[in-house]
Structure formats: structure tokens, C-alpha cells
Amino acid sequence: MTLEPIRRRRFSEPDRAEVQETIARAVESGPERFFERYARLPQSFGGRFISADLFKETFEPYRRSKETRDRYNTPVHNAAAVLASAQLRRVLAQPAEPGREAVILLTGIPGAGKTSAVLEREELPRHAHAVYEGQLADAQVAVAKVQAILDAGLKPVVVAIHARPEQALENTLRRFEEVGRGAGIEVMARVQGGLPEGLAAVRERFGEAVELRIIDRREFAQPREWKGWDFLSVLKSEGNHEQVKQRLSQYLERERERFPEAAWRQAAGLAPTFPDRRADRGLDREHEAAVRGRGAAQEGRQEALLTRPSSVRAGWENTAAERLRRIVEEHTPERGAEASRERRSLEEIGRMELQKQRSPEVEHEQSRKQRDTDHGLER
């Protein structure tokens, strides 16, 4: 399979630059071994759950520890994204089982709780041929993904998980402490601020051929569903790119003392502080695979260290996760006049949300209360 070009970034740290180049060359010279490793990861459900972040777990220099996940998350991202895009094409070429004609495009701000919808059970949603987790803020990317699904004769279903940016940031910081992979506020702002525009391009191009479902998690433990393109404006309720970035920047600075330095640095978009050295022999092994075409067969069998439910308040998390999964899986037909009244009510709520302007003091108090009552679900 022909891969998309892997774009290289500039890194001033020699080890990060070397890991980026070594992984990129290994992927370019032998992508099949990475697809095989990926399919053996339990979280990939045989390769039908597709995620660039999960593909990173097939790279030994990255997955060796929390520190290497922090250090090499950005250097390996583009190679993982190219593999994820290729994996989607591979899965779309496979025949779908009867009743599994949907392909879910799972999107939303990092930290919103996207993958908890599918990774906390032992199967994908029952109607899904595949689930692709990725960002659709770029209109060109979003349209291309939907077109590929339609060309395969399958049904594209966009599931957008919508959360307050402050809660999402809290969740990414918690994930960083657990596994070493967080998210920078610039990326978070770009994703949440740009998603309405990216999806608007999908609507303009394909209309009702694409189903839109918004899982509203602004009240994190009580997710609500908004179904249909009429509710696309709900995704604008937390602000545009600059507004979301400003909120995240203010929150990160205001709460800085609560965060470990390493977590704060990754959220702020700063390079991690880590010795300029190779990650044990991980880099050597990938370099050998790139040069000689040899990979370590056992690597794909290693379980990926992904975000998992916290042991703290596990009962609450399981209940909320189950509620979220039910929303993702449900296909409930509207019920005549009652459904029409419910839709009008939701539209009124949406308009109120869009008009609401929260002061920094109110936002801070809500964030404080949310931390005291919630532990989040970002997975």
C-alpha cells in the first residue's frame, strides 16, 4: 500500500530529531510490520479501531516508558497519523458484516472522553464496521475521510464529543501523569475551535448522506445527545480557536502550582526536559529494522499502555462510561409530536448556550466545583 508522505518537523534536540527520522524511515521502508503489530494490540479490535495515538504504541522508542512517551510523542506523531490513515483505507476495503455498515468518525477536543466510548468494553459498537478516531477540524481532511467511506459503500457517522476546554485540559493532564501522553493547549484550541468549520464543509459537500451526532459533555457526568446537522452550532458554544486558547492559557497559568513541571510544560507546548540520550536500545532496534528490514516479532504482542479508568471513584466512572456508550450505540427513531417538541426544546437550549457569556470568575468557580465532584473520563 502506498503511504502518504510523512512530514518531518524541526527539532533542536538531537535525540528527538533522530527518533523522528528513524521511525519515519522504518515506516516508509516497511509499513506492513507496523500494521501487523497494530492488529495484535488488544485495543485495536483486530485493527478496526483506528487511532494515531494507538499506532504510536507500535514504536519501541516511544512506548518504553512514561518519559519516552512525553519525550517522543510529537516526533512520532506524523508517522503514526500516516499509518492510521492507511489503516482506515485497508479496513474500508474489507467487506462489512451484515448490520455493520456504519463507519464512525470519532472526533472532539483531546480530553473530551472520546475513546472511552469504545475502549472500555470488549467489542466495537454493534453497528460499526470500524471506528476512526481523529480530528476533523481541517475541512480538506474531513471531506476526504467521508468521501472514502462513501466510496466503500458504507455509512459515515460523525460522533463529536463536546466538552468544556478546562475539563478537557484537566483530563489530559491526568492522562499525562498516568501514561506520559498529554496534549498541548494550542492543539486543543485548534481542534475545538476549528471543528465546526471542518464539519460545516462536510455538511455542504455531502448533506444528509452523513449522520452527525454530538455527545455534549459540558456536564461531564451527564452526557446528552444532539442528533442532526441542525445542532452543529452547539460545537461553537465554547468559542473559536483564539477564545478557547485564551481560556486554556488562563486556566493553565492559574492552576500551575497544582501541576508537575513536566505536565505543565507539555500542556504549554514546551519541549520536555529529558536527558539527551537514546531510550535504552529502542532506537537502535528501530534503526536496525529500517536499515535491514528486520523487526522484533514480539513487539506487536505487547499490550499498549493507554489511558484506562482511574482506580479513584471507579464506580462513578463505569456508570458514566456505560451511559456514554449507550448514547453512541443507540439508534432511536423519533416519536411523532413528542419528538418534535423535544427537538424544539433542544434547539432553544442550544441557542441559550450560544448566547451565554461566562465571566472568568464564574468559569473558575465552575472548574473548581467540577474538579471536586468529577474525576473525568478522558481515555
Percent share of the chain, pLDDT over 90: 62
User: Alpha-carbon distance 237 to 231, whole Å?
Assistant: 11
- pLDDT band at 26; cut points 50, 70, 90: very high
Give tens-digit pLDDT for 274-305.
554 544 445 555 545 544 443 333 444 444 54
- pLDDT band at 245; cut points 50, 70, 90: very high
- Give the C-alpha distances (Å, rounded to integers) separating 307 from 84, 181, 263, 293: 19, 9, 15, 31
Query: What is the per-residue pLDDT for 120?
Result: 57
| pLDDT above 50 (res 237) | yes
* Phi and psi based region of residue 199 (left: phi greater than 0; alpha: psi -120 to 50; beta: remaining): alpha
In three-state secondary structure terms, 104 is strand
Query: What is the per-residue pLDDT for 13?
Result: 94
Give tens-digit pLDDT for 99-116.
999 999 999 999 998 877
| pLDDT above 80 (res 30) | yes
The maximal CA–CA distance of the chain, rounded, in angstroms, is: 67
| pLDDT above 90 (res 222) | no
